[in-house]
Amino acid sequence: MALDDPTMEPWDAYGQEIYDYWKGITDVSEIIEREDGLIDVSHGPQMYFAPFREWTSELQEAMKHVRGRVLDIGCGAGRVSLHLQEQGHEVVAIDISPLAVEVSRQRGVKEVHLLSINQVSSRLGTFDTIVMMGNNFGLFANFRRARWILRRWHSMTSPDGRIIAQTLDPYQTENPDHLAYHAWNRQRGRMGGQARIRVRYKRSIGRWFDYLFVSQEEMRDLVVGTGWHVARTILSSGPTYVAVLEKD
């Protein structure tokens, strides 16, 4: 797909906002719709393009723990992959958005594939570090799938492999809409921070998907028995944090 190709997947709202920003349209907002009807508007995709010097302190600190060959999960516009390439790492990036993959490629990411997190396998090779920035721990979707994928990743990482994942503690809120949603989730047998959402941009409506937010305690419980443990946690001034997982 060339960047001047007007053919775009109608469901790729996320990719279309990234594409527009890359093409110079800076007035771009991202709308997140939750299954309970809540609508949230973000500041748009500019953070997906931000250079390292503009990253938050916890993300900058997280990059110090990256080593060896890297798999970038949910690469978006490629900011993490590009930074790590500049640092001399061999990086393989993946995203489920066709337009995000194309923008990453055009921006200079050397190896980027159109793949979902569920399709990651040893066919991509062995990795020393797997990074999940931009709250992309959420791409695990739910407790059961997270544990299945973590076990799978254990076999496709080096003996001293690690996972560096950013997430958000969903319970650091007093918003009644969020608290009610947490309670509804638990009534349905879901984790409190498991959100079913979709992205809307202009006339494009993304597909519904589950996105998992977890507290630090939930993170530690989730990884037990997967071959991984939380080796360290990098905190921010707010609810987001980065966990560095290492092998047992």
Condensed to tens digits (0 to 9), the pLDDT of residues 188-241 reads: 999 999 999 999 999 999 999 999 999 999 999 999 999 999 999 999 999 999
Q: Give the angle subtended at the CA of 233 by the CAs of 128 and 227, to the nearest 5°.
A: 50
Q: What is the domain partition of the chain in residue ranges?
A: 54-197+207-247
Q: Are 203 and 127 in contact (CB under 8 A)?
A: no
Query: Cα 136 to chain center, whole Å?
Result: 2
Can you identify the CATH homologous superfamily of domain 54-197+207-247? Vaccinia Virus protein VP39 (3.40.50.150)
pTM over 0.75: yes
CA torsion sign for 139, 143, 145, 147 is positive
Condensed to tens digits (0 to 9), the pLDDT of residues 88-129 reads: 999 999 999 999 999 999 999 999 999 999 999 999 999 999
**Per-residue confidence (pLDDT) for residue 42, from 0 to 100:** 84
* Cα 12 to Cα 181: distance, rounded to the nearest angstrom: 26
